[in-house]
Homo-oligomer: A and B are copies of this chain.
Amino acid sequence: MAKQRVITLLTDFGTSDHYVAAVKGVMLAVMPEATLVDITHELPPGDILAGAFVLAQALPHFPPGTVHCVVVDPTVGTDRRALAAVYGGQTVVFPDNGVITLVNRSRPLEAIAVVRDERYFLSPSLSSTFHGRDLFAPVAAHLAAGLGVERLGPQPENITLLELPEPQRRGDAEVLGQVLHVDRFGNLISNIPATMLGAPVESDRPCEVFCGDRPVGPLRPTYAVVERGRPLALINSMGLVEVAVNGGSAAEHFGAGVGAEIRVRLA
Task: Choose from B58, B76, B224 the contact partner of A18 (Cβ within 8 Å).
Answer: B58
Interchain CB contact under 8 A, B63 and A39: no
Known A-B contacts A37-B28, A61-B29, A63-B29; A236 and B18 likewise in contact (beta carbons under 8 Å): no
> Chain A, 121-139, contact with B by CB distance < 8 Å: what is the 0/1 string?
0000001111001100000
For chain A residues 1-43, which have a beta carbon within 8 Å of chain B? 4, 6, 8, 13-26, 28-29, 32-33, 35-43
> Chain A, 229-263, contact with B by CB distance < 8 Å: what is the 0/1 string?
00000101100000000010000000000000000
> Within the assembled complex, what's the spacing in Å between the Cα atoms of A236 and B134?
13
Return the chain B residue nearest A185 by Cβ.
B45
> Within the assembled complex, what's the spacing in Å between the Cα atoms of A21 and B19?
20
**Chain B hits for A21, CB < 8 A:** 8, 37-40, 54, 58, 61-62
Q: At the interface, yes or no: A227 with Cβ under 8 Å from chain B? A: no
> Within the assembled complex, what's the spacing in Å between the Cα atoms of A133 and B18?
22
Interchain CB contact under 8 A, A77 and B15: no
Query: In the assembled complex, how far is the CB of residue A250 from the closest CB belonging to chain B, in whole angstroms?
Result: 13
Other than the given A21-B54, A22-B57, 9 more pairs (CB < 8 A) read A4-B33, A15-B38, A16-B43, A17-B184, A21-B61, A28-B35, A29-B61, A29-B63, A129-B236
